[in-house]
Amino acid sequence: MTYDVVIAGAGPNGLMLACELSLGGVRPLVLEALPERSVEPKANGLVGQVVRMLDRRGLYERLSGQAGPSQPAPRYMFGAMPLDLSVLADNSLHILGAPQRRVLAVLEERALELGVEVRYGHELTGFTQHEDRVELDVAGPDGPYRIDAGYLVGADGGKSATRKLSGIGFPGVTTDSSVSRSAYATVPADWVDPVTGALHVPGHGEIPVRQHYRTGHGVFTYAKFPDRPALVSTMEWGDPEPDEPMTLDELAASVRRVLGAEVPLGPPEGEGPHLLRRLAGVNTRLAEKFRDGRVFLVGDAAHVHSAIGGPGLNLGLQDAINLGWKLAAAVTGWASPDLLDSYEAERRPVAERVVMHSQAQSALIAPGSEVTALRELLTEMLEDPKNVQRVADLMSGADIRYDLGGEHPLTGSWAPDLEVGAHRLAELTRDAKPLLVDLTEDGSFAAEAAGWGDRVTVAAAPGAGPATALLLRPDCYVAWASSSETPDASELGALRNAAAHWFDVREPART
């Protein structure tokens, strides 16, 4: 049997990609080596532009349980230093506190709604590329079998079998000097501030909730959640990893060393599985290429880095959203010859940037008086709102600019939130189709698109915005923009050229 696209890995990135492909009219198959959906505690939420992107696919309300668009966070952190985001006029940093098991459940639910087939207990064991397909070897519960795919995507994590089987290198560094310990646990209830959630530790002082708290001996984190047990974590340097399994007593001893004070830890309440994990060292690696013929890599299969600041799902899910519409265009026959190449050209520099700032943050939480001096200097610099803005945009990914040509400053950037008549922009992008937004009084740009058929959705209503018209790719990046109320032939020609280049729209009607 032949599938348009086979995705190895039913994690968040693989399921997101499957949803995007389905919206693009493509039939994907998802293979997952695990026998069922993972409930292992991993990420505790989503940070950055991906939160707003999920709103633009109609998934934010499902994940958050709240109506309406997401709101920017009033504060965050960078390298265990507080970021006061309330000083920003344009705060780009959004946070969604949804545990990874919830993200997986919602994305699987959406994928099944769209008709995606997900096979648990089916593991990719080999493949052979041909000019027109990829032949896959799969180990299933009933034995090995073979299937053909137009394309194969590895969304199978940092130890990606897809990447290894393809022979794509994964250079980088492994730092062995740190040990992280994390567990769901209870602390004395009267130590927790009922208003702020801060933890008051006798003999030490107040520790802010949900922030990395650095001391001269390591890093401590206390994170309280409304729907699950509190998370207690430490990071130490030069502490050898024990051979025996992690225990709460081991974590409590680590807390004592980091804070210089006792914090009684009790077992978590409620149903498990409960996090109880020790990790030694940090891997920072970047695949030599994200594409090899008909094989692509997304998420941790393409890049791994420190989890500090929570950039992982922001990066990986947006890999999937960038690749999804392009693969769909290739399968359905309207992709330009170089469209698939633009995936790596656009996403690899973003991964390099995340690697850079996650390494910088790791350096800022390390012990040592010289690091403390550097933190004091940066703390002074972060009193300037311009510097806070730059760091917030870096952390959120709002500073990403793809090289898409065009003269308007919005071209290549993520589309800003707009009101188009009675609709939010996020309500117009849920079908993952290209979108032309026309805010002019007479709808001149929308009239130009009258002959484009159903390839591009058109939304027109007089209104205000940073541009009078925008042509958006399905991943919500601006392919073209104009600030003219009365476009001339040159601007209309630029719009036609952008639509032809990105979406293979030809010979639109003239007015």
With a CB cutoff of 8 Å and minimum separation 6, the contacts of 298 are 13, 14, 17, 153, 154, 155, 290, 316, 319, 320, 323
Q: How far is the C-alpha of 355 from the C-alpha of 311, rounded, in Å?
A: 9
The number of beta carbons lying within 10 Å of the beta carbon of residue 289 is: 16
Residue 73: closest CA among 57, 56, 88: 88
* Segment 399-427 mean pLDDT: 94
Half-sphere exposure of 44 (CA within 13 A, CB side): 24
The number of beta carbons lying within 10 Å of the beta carbon of residue 253 is: 14
Point out the least confidently predicted range of 59-73, 128-142, 155-169, 418-432. Answer: 59-73
Instruction: Please give the single-letter amino acid code of residue 190.
Output: D
Band (507; pLDDT cuts 50, 70, 90): low
What pLDDT, on the 0 to 100 scale, is given for residue 177?
Answer: 82
Instruction: Please give the single-letter amino acid code of residue 122.
Output: H
Q: What are phi and psi of 224, to 5 degrees?
A: -105, 135
Beta bridge partners, 171, equal none
Q: What are phi and psi of 282, to 5 degrees?
A: -135, 130
37-56 pLDDT, tens digit per residue, is 988 777 778 999 999 999 99
Region of 68 please: left (phi>0), alpha (psi -120 to 50) or beta.
left
88-99 pLDDT, tens digit per residue, is 999 999 999 888
What pLDDT, on the 0 to 100 scale, is given for residue 239?
Answer: 66
With a CB cutoff of 8 Å and minimum separation 6, the contacts of 372 are 216
What pLDDT, on the 0 to 100 scale, is given for residue 430?
Answer: 96
With a CB cutoff of 8 Å and minimum separation 6, the contacts of 152 are 5, 6, 7, 8, 124, 127, 134, 136, 162, 294, 295, 296
186-208 pLDDT, tens digit per residue, is 999 999 999 999 999 999 999 99
What pLDDT, on the 0 to 100 scale, is given for residue 508?
Answer: 45
CB 211 within 8 Å of CB 77: yes
What pLDDT, on the 0 to 100 scale, is given for residue 510?
Answer: 44
Instruction: Please give the single-letter amino acid code of residue 406.
Output: G
* Segment 141-153 mean pLDDT: 97
Q: How far is the C-alpha of 56 from the C-alpha of 429, rounded, in Å?
A: 6
* Segment 396-413 mean pLDDT: 94
Q: What is this structure's pTM? A: 0.94
Band (350; pLDDT cuts 50, 70, 90): very high
What is the chain's Cα-based Rg?
24
- pLDDT over 70 percentage in the chain: 98
232-252 pLDDT, tens digit per residue, is 999 999 866 677 899 999 999
Averaged pLDDT of the chain: 93
Point out the least confidently predicted range of 289-298, 326-335, 339-348, 501-510. Answer: 501-510
- Both structure tokens of 149: 């795919």
275-310 pLDDT, tens digit per residue, is 899 988 888 999 999 999 999 999 999 999 998 888
The number of beta carbons lying within 10 Å of the beta carbon of residue 499 is: 23
- Both structure tokens of 511: 């007015």
Beta bridge partners, 215, equal 218
What pLDDT, on the 0 to 100 scale, is given for residue 174?
Answer: 84
Instruction: Please give the single-letter amino acid code of residue 465.
Output: G
